[in-house]
């Protein structure tokens, strides 16, 4: 498949608004996700996939039948079609930068806004390539519409090139990954694969089988509002209590101050008034014991404040979201080895590192479907500086095809 055909498919997908909504209880969480789900259902049929289904929750599955006469384990590839609610994905207007020259790129939808290698030095890795950027007014949606593009293009390539031998392949496209629910209604039994790969990583070469343990925490503060002219000894300001809570946590253990295996507390939202206030945190750590300690640390801060004021002014609600998939992948490390070898055969140096986040694969691994994560090629997800090199998407497509081929070779006994 040519770069141009892959690019046109990607551009079609990103122009469809699929933002998810954490406040909704439906699946998918927004009705507009159905627009892309239905399109993918139709396209999978058009390219010649079999067993194409779309369920009541918008999970799209399909099969590429084996073309060998011996038993090969069924493998899968998974991507999500929703985009984050953190930044708008409506009315995406992509910019195409051909033969990138290494200079700052004007994001023409916002005056004097640039995507610059002075801020994002990874841009220089892609001099001479074709980049797809935002116009500065929206995110791009390469997370994870690049992954969807790569999977469908790979399946179409395998169908058109039957000389590439492979076993049975299953694909699935999911809603609501960005709000932590992408795997919640994933039917692992129906999917029927022995293992799978999420195409949901970033930079070319990324190969990941470790991710954060994750939880969310809602912190509620109770104050007392009275007229400020008569407030002495009576008013209790919930906003000050919230400030005290924030200041009690280590300032250097935040996303902007940490890297690699370092965990963090991330304050994502702060709202309230004198009478009541609420903080929203996410808690992340690769090490499970440290993860547990972080949750206990939040509770200790709350307990200390309640003791200081002699009554309950703060309460916590902590909910686990997902766990590190490492323990589920290590017993079947050969599936990582296959992906690593596929990259090397395609001229890509694997970048094996922990995910500073999560994927559908982390939850799926705990549901009985071991599922490492492979690069989709994009950078600067979830904001106006997002971009993806077309050549990286082309390489990701090639890696999918090579994984299918190497799996068939490995089990040809």
Q: Which residues are tagged catalytic?
A: 82, 177
Tell me the CA distances in angstroms from 304 to 299, 308, 356, one per residue in order. 9, 6, 30
How does DSSP classify residue 178? G
Of residues 144, 143, 171, the one with CA closest to residue 60? 171
Whether 147 and 154 have beta carbons less than 8 Å apart is answered as: no
Q: Which residues contact 183 (CB under 8 A, 6 or more apart)?
A: 174, 177, 360, 363, 364, 367
> What would the two tokens of residue 385 be?
């500086």
Q: Which residues contact 108 (CB under 8 A, 6 or more apart)?
A: 95, 135, 136
CB 316: neighbour CB atoms within 10 A?
Answer: 17
Q: Which residues contact 99 (CB under 8 A, 6 or more apart)?
A: 128, 129, 130
Q: Which residues contact 27 (CB under 8 A, 6 or more apart)?
A: 57, 58, 175, 176, 181, 184, 185
Residue corresponding to tokens 């002219």 = 229
Give the C-alpha separation, 259 to 70, whole Å.
45
Q: Which residues of 160-190 are buried (b: 16+ CB within 10 A; e: fewer)?
A: eeeeebbbbbbbbbbbbbbbbbbbbbbebee
Q: Which residues contact 83 (CB under 8 A, 6 or more apart)?
A: 17, 18, 19, 20, 89, 139, 141, 143, 145, 178
Whether 363 and 355 have beta carbons less than 8 Å apart is answered as: no
SS3 state at 195: strand
The values of phi and psi at residue 152, to 5°, are -65, -40
Of residues 410, 345, 413, the one with CA closest to residue 166? 410
Whether 323 and 362 have beta carbons less than 8 Å apart is answered as: yes
CB 133: neighbour CB atoms within 10 A?
Answer: 25
């Amino acid at each position: 498949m040519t770069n141009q055909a892959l690019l046109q498919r990607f551009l079609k997908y990103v122009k469809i608004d699929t933002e998810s909504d954490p406040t909704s209880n439906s699946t998918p969480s927004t009705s507009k996700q159905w627009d892309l789900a239905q399109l993918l259902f139709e396209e999978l049929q058009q390219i010649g996939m079999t067993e194409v289904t779309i369920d009541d929750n918008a999970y799209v599955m399909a099969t590429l039948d084996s073309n060998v006469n011996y038993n090969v384990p069924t493998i899968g590839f998974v991507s999500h079609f929703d985009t984050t609610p953190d930044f708008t994905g409506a009315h995406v207007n992509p910019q195409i930068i051909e033969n990138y020259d290494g200079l700052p790129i004007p994001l023409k939808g916002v005056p004097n806004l640039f995507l610059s290698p002075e801020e994002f030095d990874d841009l220089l890795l892609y001099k001479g390539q074709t980049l797809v950027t935002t116009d500065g007014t929206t995110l791009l949606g390469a997370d994870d519409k690049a992954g969807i593009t790569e999977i469908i293009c790979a399946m179409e390539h395998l169908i058109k090139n039957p000389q590439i031998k492979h076993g049975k392949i299953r694909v699935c496209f999911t809603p609501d990954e960005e709000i932590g629910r992408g795997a919640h209604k994933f039917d692992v039994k129906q999917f029927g694969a022995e293992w799978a790969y999420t195409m949901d990583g970033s930079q070319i070469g990324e190969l990941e089988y470790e991710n954060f343990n994750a939880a969310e925490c809602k912190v509620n503060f109770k104050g007392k509002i009275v007229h400020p002219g008569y407030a002495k000894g009576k008013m209790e300001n919930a906003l000050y209590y919230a400030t005290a809570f924030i200041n009690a946590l280590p300032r250097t253990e935040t996303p902007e101050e940490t890297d690699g295996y370092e965990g963090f507390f991330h304050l994502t939202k702060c709202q309230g008034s004198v009478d009541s206030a609420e903080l929203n945190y996410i808690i992340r750590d690769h090490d499970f014991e440290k993860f547990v300690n972080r949750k206990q640390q939040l509770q200790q801060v709350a307990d200390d404040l309640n003791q200081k004021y002699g009554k309950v002014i703060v309460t916590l609600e902590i909910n686990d979201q997902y766990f590190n998939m490492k323990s589920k992948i290590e017993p079947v490390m050969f599936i990582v080895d296959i992906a690593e070898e596929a990259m090397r055969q395609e001229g890509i140096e694997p970048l094996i590192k922990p995910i500073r986040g999560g994927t559908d694969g982390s939850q799926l691994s705990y549901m009985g479907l071991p599922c490492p994560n492979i690069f989709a090629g994009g950078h600067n997800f979830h904001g106006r500086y997002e971009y993806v090199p077309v050549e990286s998407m082309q390489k990701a497509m090639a890696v999918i095809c090579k994984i299918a081929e190497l799996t068939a070779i490995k089990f040809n006994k």
